[in-house]
Amino acid sequence: MIKHFSLSVFAAAVLASGPAHPAPAAPAAASQPRLLVVLVVDGLPNEQVQRYRAQFGQGGFRRLLEQGASFSNAHQAHGITVTAVGHAAILSGAYPYQHGVVANNWIDPVTHVSTYCTEDTAYTYLGEETKSSDGTSPARLRVSTLGDELRYASGGRAKVLTVSGKDRGAILLAGKTGTAYMYMDKSGNFASSSYYMAAHPAWVQRFQAARPQDRYYGKSWTPLLPAEAYAGDAEDPPAAANGGRNRFPFSYYSESGALDASYYARLRVGPYLDELTLEFARAAIEGENLGRNPAGVPDVLGVSLSSHDYVNHAFGPESKMSHDHLQRLDRMLAGFFSYLDLRVGRDNVMVVLTADHGFANVPEFARAHKHDAGRIRGDNMVAALEQHLAARFSVPGLVLASTAPNVLPNIYLDHELMEKHGLDSADVEQAASRFLLRQPGVNEVFTRSQFERGAAAPTRIAVLMRRAWNRQVSGDLMVVNKPNWFPGSGTGTTHGSPYNYDTNVPLMMMGRQWIKPGVYGQYAEVVDIAPTLAHLLRLRPPSGAEGRVLTETLR
């Protein structure tokens, strides 16, 4: 069907050089970054960064790890670890119960139909086909972001621009007053929407006219490193991508033999979409003169790199494909950082890198390593629940809707029907919970009544799930899988749970004017990023921010 409260203390307890450019600007007199670059690697578990770090080159992840501050115990500290929720947290500093983005899709409480996190039919893509479920605005984001606060404090003079391979990755980083650009699967362009502007600026038109996305047609993705570097990786995971092929080399083509939508969609799985995204980011820096704001105020560039998520979904984080993609991304980041040094100046740029969520291993791989693992058919589970409740209460139709089958069910009950038949909603929820807890792969079930009454046990999982639940838009029953179990009947793997493999993500900050290098073992959360940056930029924190300032990292 689908396309802290303040508990920080409690949770911590229970839980290639580029071309020549003009000389960079002098360091800001106010000792603030001239350009703040926020990088999000979609679907990157911190475990992968640590496992493959010895193979990184000198200028990418290794530079962040050695010249910046990095946290080994940083988390997306909410229970629904998916792209939209994670991106909404990064620059808002808020949990879903406040920022309102509770999933990639949820059920609209008025229409009772599936709603996409950034869809807004009042706006359309510029020069591109727009479907009703496409992401075009941040209307459903209920709080401000760091960029919004910077724009407000600077009287609109600061520039905030974001780019991503996914609409939700760009829009939720940009906030209400930034400008978002996203990859178009059908044309391979990066485009914005009419929410942000009436027409693309000239630099975007020039970028589109050059058609850089077409250069990869007929090219292949082959391993970057010698064969022995991948020893121990899963060579043939039970997954399929790029036309059913799951071995190197991967070719980028279309069945029609022409540059068409199937080719542009193929580019998402592999290194080339990220390469294009960083190329667009360079064009944005130059086109908008980011980091050289004539008003002397900082600018913000958000770059969400989407391909690692697609690769991990298809093959798993244990795969040779994921390993190689991360190494290629490392080299891309090295080139981008060198470009920033030349264009803006090392003393003028601060970089933050994190991820929106981690990843579970493919369940077949987990079982081979002696873990209890499997796949849950959420649609079958919900259908069986409907039958059970109809028999138990002699009222059919008590399940109004759910987010199954592609994610664990967030189940909505029909409150009007319950009231009509004199049923107590807490009784129906409890009966549903008992039934669901007997299903294979289910670990816990949380109900609306538990959350509203504060009756959920004070466990780490309960804290994370309560943060993920929004009173207005979330369902009446939230199902938590067992570790290493997840929804779906196909191949590959996914994310979305409150377990460490999904929550533990990189959190790195680099900027020698402001950040003390080091590896930090303190517990940290992604929601700490926005308050920390607000402190450095002398801004008020975003409206829903609940994180802490990471003072241990500051000079």
Which residues participate in catalysis according to the annotation?
Answer: 83
- Within 10 A of 26 (CB to CB), how many other CB atoms are there? 10
Q: Across-strand partners of 150?
A: none
22: left (phi > 0), else alpha (psi -120 to 50), else beta? beta
Q: What is the CA radius of gyration of the chain?
A: 23
Query: Closest Cα partner for 140 from 172, 187, 109, 170?
Result: 172
Cβ atoms of 253 and 263 closer than 8 Å: yes
Residues 365, 315: Cα–Cα separation, whole Å:
11
How many Cα atoms sit within 13 Å of 350 on the Cβ side? Answer: 27
Rounded to an integer, what distance in angstroms lies between the CA atom of residue 137 and that of residue 117?
9
Spatial contact of 277 and 162, defined as CB atoms under 8 Å apart: no
- SS3 track for 369-425: CCCCCEEECHHHHHHHHHHHHHHHHCCCCCEEEECCCCCCCEEEECHHHHHHCCCCH
Written as six digits, the tokens of 496 are 């979305």
Backbone angles phi, psi at 351, to 5 degrees: -115, 135
Distance (Å, whole) CA 300 – CA 370: 46
The answer to whether 334 touches 16, Cβ cutoff 8 Å, is: yes
Report the amino acid identity of residue 249.
P
Query: How far apart are alpha carbons 484 and 62 in whole angstroms?
Result: 30
Q: What are phi and psi of 302, to 5 degrees?
A: -105, 130
Distances (CA, A) of 17 to 40, 133, 245, 335, 418: 22, 40, 34, 6, 65
Dist. CA 165–CA 182, nearest whole Å = 6
Whole-angstrom distance, CA of residue 473 vs CA of residue 528: 25
376 touches 481 (CB < 8 A)? yes
| Chain centre to alpha carbon of residue 543 | 21
Closest residue by Cα to residue 519 from 73, 77, 75, 90: 73
- 408 Cβ partners below 8 Å, 6+ apart? 376, 378, 479, 480, 481, 486, 487, 496, 497
Identify the residue whose tokens are 């396309």: 3
Q: Which two structure tokens, joined as six digits, stand for 2?
A: 């689908």
Residue 546 neighbours by CB under 8 Å, 6+ apart: 4, 6, 8, 93, 94, 95, 98, 527
Q: Is the peptide bond before 201 cis (omega within 30 degrees of 0)?
A: no
